[in-house]
Amino acid sequence: MLKKGCIQLGCLSVFAAAIISGCGSSSTPAPVDAKSTGATQSTDKKLRIAFIPKGATHEFWKAMEAGARKAAEENNVELLWKSALKEDDRAEQVKVVENFTNEKVDGIVLAPLDENALTSPSKEAMNAGIPVLIVDSGLKGLEPVSFIATDNYQAGKECGEQLAKAVGAKAKVVLLRYQEGSASTMAREQGFLDAAKEKGLEVVSSEQYGGATRESAQSASENLIARFKSGDGLTIKGIFTPNESTAFGMMRALQTAQLLGKVTLVGFDSSKELLDSVKKGDIEGLMLQDPFKMGYLGVTNMVKHIKGEKLEAKVNSGSVFVTKANIDSDSVKALLPKN
Amino acid sequence: MSIAENATLACRNTFLFSPKLSEFQADHWISELGVKAKHSRQKIRELSGGNQQKIAFARLLESDSDLMLLDEPTRGIDIASKATLYQQMDFAAQRGCGILMTSSYLPELLGVCDRIVVLNRGKLMGIFDARTTNAHKLMQECIA
Amino acid sequence: MIRKHPILGVLFAWIAIYAIFAYLKPNTFLAFDIVELMMRQSIIIGIGALGMTYVIINAGIDLSAGSVLALSSVSGALVYNQTGSPSLVVLACLSTGLIFGCLNGVLVSRLKAGPFIVTLGSMLALRGLAKGFAHEKTVSIVDKFVQPDLLLFNLASGLPKSQKWQLFPLGAWVWIVFLVILAVALNYTTFGRNVVAVGSNEAAAKLCGIPVNSVKVGVYSLAGFFFGLAGLMSFSRTTLGDPTSGAGDELKMIAAVVIGGASLSGGEGSMVGTALGVLIMSTISIGCSQMAIPNWIQEILTGVIILTAVAIDRWRASKLAAA
């Protein structure tokens, strides 16, 4: 009985392996596929660099992928782009890192979902001789070969200053947070709160979180609007949202409540809808990071490190505050999605 | 599910289902078969085994079928309930309904059936007229 | 009367929770605006939970609800970008739901591996399909078709002043109408009775001549239809085809059904109870937000309420068995 079971299990695993390798031979650059092609074309040994973003569906990561692919092309690098299935699934991202460590890629560029959870798999990779370069969000307790990111705290602080400039001192403002445990947005939120304190803004709510999806952010926004509604207007003058999904949810909630333009909204990151709103003047401004540059630098610097060059520990990939006034300028256009 | 729903479960299906009608039909069988229940909206699982069996039998009767297959219909229920079931089987047979019943209890077969078929390890041992045979003969065929 | 007790219990629970918030913050909670907001935020989960109630009464479970919802919102957005026709969007969303619901039903009744595993599989597969269709990004509406005033994009949004007489946005009325239809169908059609019969004892139902497999396919198709409708509402609310939307919504729907007095072992449950379950969850969510209570407390509260609902249900069942 047991023997039969074992044989069945064996057959099953062979079958499963067949399926997996079958998938690998399709166009997506899965690790298995990469290995086999790497073995066959040994003419000029291509570097294989794994790039692990936080998610796949936000515009932000699309731009970063474009940057990374460009750098990969220029440096003749094989880029393995693989995200966790869900934007907030830390365990899944840990597995992706472990798999690439096991694959013995030449380098890992990682945008960690969590400042703690990803530390030990990254350390394992470093111990296995695979350099790890961190982009976008910080990681505690690890010395990566380099850390390329927007200075989120500074950028958040600038958002606070811009908001204060627009609404005037002593005005009541609201912060809709993104998610617990995301280092980059938490730094932005902290920067914003510090700036608000300096400029004398009164933050009347900073305890609400938008959550992972735009829909959840929209519901949270509606609740906040209902809380601060008085007659046809709002008792608050300004709102800050620290990423794309919260900015979009808040914008949509204001839109359906016919309050767009009656309150000053400052957001972070961009999408087509958000930029359109900036053009119309419905959103005061957006802090744009440069994900393309982040992806580009991530891959190029990793190549430099592998070739033995010394890297700076911290690289600021920069950010720009976009308003109606400067949205058509060339320096801003360079940051916008190209299509 | 309620007694009413259970009793009418096998009825010819129409698109609409009327709880009132099914309660009416179930009430009829509750009094006819002497089911010990508070009312027809009571849950079936709150009844005793014998009473549950009566409702299951009522379901067959309510479906008004021409042939009934009964597999050990009286196993594990009390004597009074058994008598009620035998009586109802008799009524159904008189109405023209054919009944094929299996049982391992010989006196029951002799008392209820017109003809008795003995099967022994998958083989047909014979068909007997219940009026002319007796328990001893049947038993011999069974253990042959 | 005994049968009506569970619903009354849920109703009292909702009133009690509402009363607590109304006492703490009378200005907000005694105004009609908050009721409208509550209805609005209940639409997506509420409509999905309609289908989920049938599935759970049928002793099944559908974990793919959130994925079907996302797939429906993505296909709605894609169709809108191609055609600009709201009626085709509605058709696309509903048929997406119906097709994949039917597929779930066929798999559940043929594979005999249990609905949990089967729909767990389709949950992952359909989520992937949604991302694939959307090319791994959110489907935005193309510029030429952006029309914020279109009814399609206001099914679940706040009503403008001139339309306040409608009380709730159209999506909420759709929810209410289907709620009534499904509640009536559960009690007054043969299909409804068969759903309950298969849920309470599948083997017995089969012996009574009930076409068990067809009933299951029907139930999952029906559920898929409502997940598709929920996807339409999600598309309407966000004006985006978001392949990550609805993640975790299946659990919220199941929670609402259980709070509403249904048993996960099947055969029991009520549509009105489920609707009250949805309202209880939105009341807590809105109440916590209005009172500036952090998310973690809200999550604890919702969890405790689910546990209480289950505990009360078990307690009542044991009382009945003892009586």
- Give the distance from residue C315's alpha carbon to the nearest chain B alpha carbon, in angstroms: 16
Predicted local confidence at residue C82, as pLDDT:
93
- What are the structure tokens assigned to A238, written together? 């300004």
Whether A125 is covered by a domain: the verdict is: yes
Residue A36 confidence class, pLDDT cut points 50, 70, 90: very low
Residue C320 confidence class, pLDDT cut points 50, 70, 90: low
Q: Answer with the residue of higher pLDDT: B141 or A132.
A: A132
- Residues of B in Cβ contact (< 8 Å) with C320: 43, 46
Chains touching A (at least 3 CB pairs under 8 A) are: C
Burial string for A99-134 (b: 16+ CB within 10 Å, else e) reads ebbebebbbbbbbbbbbeebbebbeebbeeebbbbb
Burial string for B29-67 (b: 16+ CB within 10 Å, else e) reads bbeebebebeebbbbbeebeebbbbbbbbbbbbbbeeee
Whether residue C245 and residue A215 make contact (CB cut-off 8 A), yes or no, is yes
Q: Determine whether A3 is exposed, middle or buried from the number of CB atoms within 10 Å of its CB (0-12, 13-18, 19+).
A: exposed
H-helix segments, chain A? 2-24, 31-40, 59-74, 90-103, 119-127, 152-167, 183-198, 214-227, 244-256, 272-280, 291-306, 330-333
Alpha-carbon torsion, ordered A274, A279, A284, A285, to 10 deg: 60
Residue A19 has pLDDT above 60, yes or no: no
Chains B and A touch (3+ CB pairs under 8 A): no
* Tens-digit pLDDT profile for residues C98-129: 999 999 999 999 998 889 999 999 999 999 99
Same domain for A305 and A224: no
> CB-based contacts of C316: which residues, under 8 Å, 6+ apart?
C5, C6
Nearest CA in chain C to A62: C137
Predicted local confidence at residue A248, as pLDDT:
94
Whether A18 is covered by a domain: the verdict is: no
Nearest CA in chain C to B63: C208
Nearest to C243 among A57, A215, A252 (CB): A57
Same domain for A240 and A138: no
- Give the distance from residue A146's alpha carbon to the nearest chain C alpha carbon, in angstroms: 29
- What are the structure tokens assigned to C132, written together? 């694939």
- Give the distance from residue C49's alpha carbon to the nearest chain B alpha carbon, in angstroms: 22
Same domain for A199 and A101: no
CB atoms within 10 A of CB B100: 11
- Give the distance from residue B65's alpha carbon to the nearest chain C alpha carbon, in angstroms: 12
B-contacting residues in C 292-311 (Cβ below 8 Å): none
Say whether residue A256 is in contact with chain C using an 8 A CB cutoff: yes
- What are the structure tokens assigned to A327, written together? 């949205």
Ramachandran sector of residue C117 (left: φ over 0; alpha: ψ -120 to 50; beta: rest): alpha
Same domain for A212 and A173: yes
Whether A274 is covered by a domain: the verdict is: yes
How many Å apart are CA A62 and CA A269, to the nearest integer?
12
User: Which amino acid makes up residue C1?
Assistant: M
* Tens-digit pLDDT profile for residues C222-268: 999 999 999 999 999 888 888 888 888 999 999 999 999 888 888 88
Same domain for A209 and A123: no
- What are the structure tokens assigned to A151, written together? 């200075």
Nearest CA in chain B to C322: B46
* Tens-digit pLDDT profile for residues C129-181: 999 999 887 888 888 888 877 888 888 887 777 888 888 999 999 999 999 99
Whether A40 is covered by a domain: the verdict is: no
Whether A163 is covered by a domain: the verdict is: yes
Whether A239 is covered by a domain: the verdict is: yes
Chains touching B (at least 3 CB pairs under 8 A) are: C
Planar angle of CA C154, C157, C162, nearest 5 degrees: 80
Same domain for A211 and A101: no
* Tens-digit pLDDT profile for residues A249-274: 999 999 888 888 889 999 998 888 89
Q: Range of A307's domain?
A: 46-150+291-318
Same domain for A234 and A119: no
Same domain for A208 and A106: no
**Number of domains chain A is built from:** 2
Same domain for A137 and A70: yes
Cα of A332 vs its chain's centroid, Å: 19
Whether A27 is covered by a domain: the verdict is: no
- Residues of C in Cβ contact (< 8 Å) with B5: 193, 196-197
Residue C208 confidence class, pLDDT cut points 50, 70, 90: confident
Same domain for A187 and A119: no
Nearest CA in chain C to B43: C3
Q: For C198-296, list the strands marked E by DSSP.
A: none
* Tens-digit pLDDT profile for residues C9-32: 889 889 999 999 999 888 888 888
Same domain for A275 and A265: yes
Nearest CA in chain C to A210: C295
Nearest to A255 among C137, C148, C247 (CB): C148
Residue C300 has pLDDT above 70, yes or no: yes
* Tens-digit pLDDT profile for residues A234-249: 899 999 999 999 999 9
Mean pLDDT, range B73-98, rounded to an integer: 86
Query: Looking at this predicted complex, what is its ipTM?
Result: 0.78
CATH number at residue A51: 3.40.50.2300
* pTM reported for the whole predicted model: 0.80
Whether A73 is covered by a domain: the verdict is: yes
How many Å apart are CA B97 and CA A67, to the nearest integer?
82
Same domain for A158 and A238: yes
